[in-house]
Amino acid sequence: QVQLVESGGGLVQAGGSLRLSCAASGRTFSAYTVGWFRQAPGKEREFVATSIRSGGITHYADSVKGRFTISRDNAKNTVYLQMNSLKPEDTAVYYCAATRNYYTTLVLAYRGYDSWGQGTQVTVSS
C-alpha cells in the first residue's frame, strides 16, 4: 500500500477552477493506478477520474468529462485533478485512491482501490 495525502480543496464560485493534488509515498508510484472519487453529504462515494499506472490511459465520469483533467508527475509521486467550469453539484469531499489494479472494470469502482487519502473538501457556490 501507499500513503496518500490530498490538498488543494476550497471554496470557489460556480464557473471557477481548482486543482487538487494527491501526493503519494513509495518508490514504485508509476506502477499504481490512481483515481479520484467524491462523496457528497447523503450520497454514495462516486468515481470521478482515474489514471492507469504510468498515466497513458485515463477514464472520466460522464459528469466531469470536458471539465476535469487528471494528470500525474511520477517523478514527484503526485497526481493532479484540474477542475474547470465548476458547478454547485461538484460540491463534495474529494478522495484520491491507489491500487495496483489496472482492469477497467475494477478501477472505475471504489472497491477496486486499497489505499485512500483523508479527503479534501470542495465547495462550489452558486
Q: Give the position of cell 503519494.
A: 24
pLDDT reading at 1 higher than 90: no
Per-residue model confidence as pLDDT tens digits over 63-104: 999 999 999 999 999 999 999 999 999 999 999 999 999 888
d(CA 49, CA 34): 9
98: Cβ contacts below 8 Å, ≥ 6 apart:
1, 2, 4, 24, 32, 33, 34, 35, 113, 114, 115
125: Cβ contacts below 8 Å, ≥ 6 apart:
11, 12, 13, 14, 88
d(CA 59, CA 62): 9
Q: Give the position of cell 513509495.
A: 26
**3-state DSSP call for residue 102?**
coil
Closest CA to 21 of 36, 39, 41: 36
pLDDT reading at 54 higher than 90: no
At 56 the pLDDT is 84
At 38 the pLDDT is 98
pLDDT reading at 26 higher than 90: no
